[in-house]
Amino acid sequence: MRIAVISDIHSNLHALCAVLTEMRKAKVDAVLCCGDIVGYGAYPNECIEMIENITVEACQGNHDRAIITSDYYGFNPIAMESLLWTEKVLTKESLEWLESLPYVRVEVEIGGINFTVAHGSPLDPDEYIFPSVHPPRRLELYLAQMESDFILIGHTHIPYVWECEHGIILNPGAVGQPRDFDPRASFALIDIEEEHKVKIEIARVDYDIQAAARAIIEKDLPEFLAKRLFLGE
């Protein structure tokens, strides 16, 4: 069985379509989404519709939650401007679907493997998890507390795989706004093989950044959001 893990789409339809094309080529059996479907980009409704149709499980990200609650405290001015615009253009159906997603985390079993799907940490969607900064013991406790083989998270927009005896923490990176200085869309593939052995790949996909950036500017969203797509930061 092959599972795709996506996160931080951020209303970037061009990047999402490119990732979905790669998923079809890879013959993916299931898709898990770690949130932040909206914010920053120009196509929130279209991205929500696509994610709704392809995912097995998804959770809310902090941008999704902000739209649902209209609480933008703590967001920088550029992020807040994009969220206020998103709130105006989001359809009732899109908002209702976002509201239906679990806020903190969701548990799912696929192919005999237990997954915890979250956005930040499995206890706090706003927490940024960086294995290079967090004490290993803390990450081990997350895995032990969740009793999962995998904890899937996003939020940092930077892909990584961290493994210990308790399991694996996987961040697939960002589909719509990478921040690891590689502008290509990022997602992860998990192959579940015999005896529940797994193989993990971080996949990168080229997409039409020019078109995505042009759409941001045409919708009068902050120009900075368009420029950063070319830099992957």
**Cα–Cα distance measured from residue 109 to residue 98, given in angstroms and rounded to the nearest whole number:** 22
Can you give the pLDDT at residue 195?
74
CATH of the domain at 206: 3.60.21.10
8 Å CB contact between 39 and 72: no
In a domain, 129, yes or no: no
Identify the band that residue 166 occupies on the pLDDT scale cut at 50, 70 and 90: confident
**Cα–Cα distance measured from residue 25 to residue 89, given in angstroms and rounded to the nearest whole number:** 33
Q: Give per-residue pLDDT as tens, 219-231.
A: 999 999 999 999 9
Q: What is the mean pLDDT of residues 6-27?
A: 98
Closest to 31 measured CA to CA, from 178, 185, 209, 172: 172
In a domain, 163, yes or no: no
Is the confidence at residue 190, as pLDDT, over 90?
yes
Name the pairing type of β-strands 30-33 and 2-6.
parallel
Domain region containing 58: 2-103+173-231
In a domain, 156, yes or no: no
User: What's the number of domains the chain is made of?
Assistant: 1
**Cα–Cα distance measured from residue 31 to residue 23, given in angstroms and rounded to the nearest whole number:** 9
Q: Is 130 helix (H, G, I), strand (E, B) or coil?
A: coil
Can you give the pLDDT at residue 197?
86
Identify the band that residue 90 occupies on the pLDDT scale cut at 50, 70 and 90: very high
Identify the band that residue 68 occupies on the pLDDT scale cut at 50, 70 and 90: very high
Identify the band that residue 77 occupies on the pLDDT scale cut at 50, 70 and 90: very high
Is the confidence at residue 37, as pLDDT, over 90?
yes
CA atoms within 13 A on the CB side of 52: 16
Which of 111-115, 147-151, 180-184, 193-197 comes out lowest in average pLDDT? 193-197
Q: What residue spans of the chain are helical by DSSP H? A: 13-26, 44-54, 62-69, 77-89, 92-100, 136-146, 209-218, 223-231
Is the confidence at residue 196, as pLDDT, over 80?
no
In a domain, 116, yes or no: no
Can you give the pLDDT at residue 211?
98
Is the confidence at residue 28, as pLDDT, over 90?
yes
β-partners of residue 84 are: none
In a domain, 87, yes or no: yes
In a domain, 179, yes or no: yes
In a domain, 198, yes or no: yes
In a domain, 178, yes or no: yes
Higher-pLDDT residue of 28 and 145 is: 28
Identify the band that residue 76 occupies on the pLDDT scale cut at 50, 70 and 90: very high
Q: What is the mean pLDDT of residues 27-49?
A: 98
Q: What is the mean pLDDT of residues 94-117?
A: 95
CA angle 45, 51, 53 (to 5 degrees): 105
Q: Give per-residue pLDDT as tens, 129-142.
A: 998 888 888 899 89
Which of 12-16, 103-107, 208-212 comes out lowest in average pLDDT? 103-107
Q: Give per-residue pLDDT as tens, 140-165.
A: 989 988 989 999 999 999 999 999 98
8 Å CB contact between 151 and 166: no
